Amino acid sequence: SQQGEEDPQALSIQEGENATMNCSYKTSINNLQWYRQNSGRGLVHLILIRSNEREKHSGRLRVTLDTSKKSSSLLITASRAADTASYFCATDGVDSSYKLIFGSGTRLLVRP
């Protein structure tokens, strides 16, 4: 299975602090994506990093990818209470680009 695993499962930080979430996966991938889910809602795409990229930025988001370790990290800088949500990584494999497989997610709580 190419199922990703994220850690930590839950993270609680103070507003203004940085939040780092990690994702590991098992098979070779084309791309890795990060999504955000507010409670009881659908997922929203945050950022995509290709397998030949090592780092990518988008606003307060920074994503890294280490294909040798089959891992990625999502850093949210200067967190806000509105960043409170669950965050998931998702991968599409080299052998199965039509299948987007999600990790187990990290629940982030940003305290005001």
Partner 1 sequence: SQTIHQWPATLVQPVGSPLSLECTVEGTSNPNLYWYRQAAGRGLQLLFYSVGIGQISSEVPQNLSASRPQDRQFILSSKKLLLSDSGFYLCAWLIPGVEAFFGQGTRLTVV
Task: Please give the residue ranges that form the binding site for partner 1 (CB under 8 A).
Answer: 3, 30-31, 33, 35, 40-45, 48, 50, 88, 90, 92, 97-105, 107
Ramachandran angles phi, psi of 14, nearest 5°: -90, 145
Which CB atom, from 18 or from 28, has the smaller least distance to partner 1? 28
How many other C-beta atoms lie within 10 A of the C-beta of residue 54? 11
CA distance 55 to 63: 6
- 33 or 79, CB closer to partner 1? 33
Least distance in angstroms from the C-beta of 24 to partner 1: 13
Distance in Å, CB of 80 to partner 1, minimum: 23
Q: Is residue 72 exposed (0-12), middle (13-18) or buried (19+ Cβ within 10 Å)?
A: buried
Compare residues 43 and 65 and give the one whose CB is closer to partner 1.
Answer: 43
